[in-house]
Amino acid sequence: MRTSMRAAIATSPGLPLVISEMSIPKPQPGEILVKILACGVCHTDLHAIDGDWPVKPRYPFIPGHEVVGVVAALGQGVKNFREGDGIGVPWLHDACDTCEYCTSGWETLCASQHNSGYSVDGGYADYMIASAGYATPLPLDASAPELAPILCAGVTSYKGIKETEVRAGEWLAVCGVGGLGHLAVQYGKAMGMHVVAIDVAQDKLDIARQAGADLVIDGASELGVRQLLRETGGGVHGALVTAVSTQAFAQTLRLLRRKGTMSLVGLPPGEFPLPIFDVVLKRLTVRGSIVGTRRDLAEALEFALDGKVSASVQHRRLEEVNEVLAELKAGKVRGRVALVMDAAA
């Protein structure tokens, strides 16, 4: 077995990643060494590399948290995986398992959690360490690049939809049809909802149509907003906001019908105004949603493995990672990008 691996390393806030050789880590008790086949590139990776969130990563570190691979070695005590198994490693690397959130099925709120590619080294590499209790089994015949985004974009959009409490037959708005949004449209349809997709870019609205949206609306058009209100019978029952725009947050609240819920997963800097009168009199709910639990991930993956949800994925090489990140920052990525480690892109 090899003793060294390639890794794309963040060395300082805002600087390009450095691709270099480093020793392959060894799994400790309860850990798994994963040979990485593909790692999705997420907008969160940009925040990690630039260090622009309140909780700062420690440099140097390896980004990446949408990992599909194969079990290469097991640490002492690991019983739920065997060498050669397919494995997925999500954003939630591990949590304490003992706090009130962990013991009530809300481990994503654990204050002691560690996150892949942020507080522990992630998947922009040939190998990484995973926690046996938080990694997820995957079939080896699944396409690694196409499945990788489900580990974050998929489960995040799926959980966000659940948080809207929209039921089958009701209207769901998806605001922002990027990497998360194009999956959210598919999840909403697979869950039996009527879906309206909102964006300001025509090419993204085209993607929403291809993903099965019942209605597509130009968010910059007041006529489009009126059309939405008319065709949904007075507004949507729930809305998922994936757009990285405070303006989109404020606008989407207007689209809710009485007793509606808006679920927020986009993380733009700044604040947005909350009209207290409307929120109180219409009994509106504004709710944050952060990725998903292990149960949510299993459900999100089931939709994908059944062929009901599929990510639009561009294959790129690890050596192209800085180009990919620049394209993502400039808004030039359509769907998702997966870095393919073991084969030609």
CA distance 148 to 155: 11
CATH number of 4-151+293-340: 3.90.180.10
The mean pLDDT of the chain is 95
Strands 18-23 and 4-9, by their bridges, are: antiparallel
| Residue 91 · residue 297 · CB < 8 Å | no
CA distance 14 to 134: 30
pTM: 0.94
CA distance 84 to 103: 31
Predicted pLDDT at 218: 94
- Domain at 154-288: CATH architecture: 3-Layer(aba) Sandwich (3.40)
DSSP single-letter state for residue 332: -
CA distance 155 to 132: 19
State pLDDT tens for residues 59-99.
Answer: 999 999 999 999 999 999 999 999 999 999 999 999 999 99
pLDDT over threshold 50, residue 19: yes
| Residue 330 · residue 30 · CB < 8 Å | no
State pLDDT tens for residues 163-184.
Answer: 999 999 999 999 999 999 999 9
Q: Which amino acid is at 188?
A: G
Where in the chain is CATH 3.90.180.10?
4-151+293-340
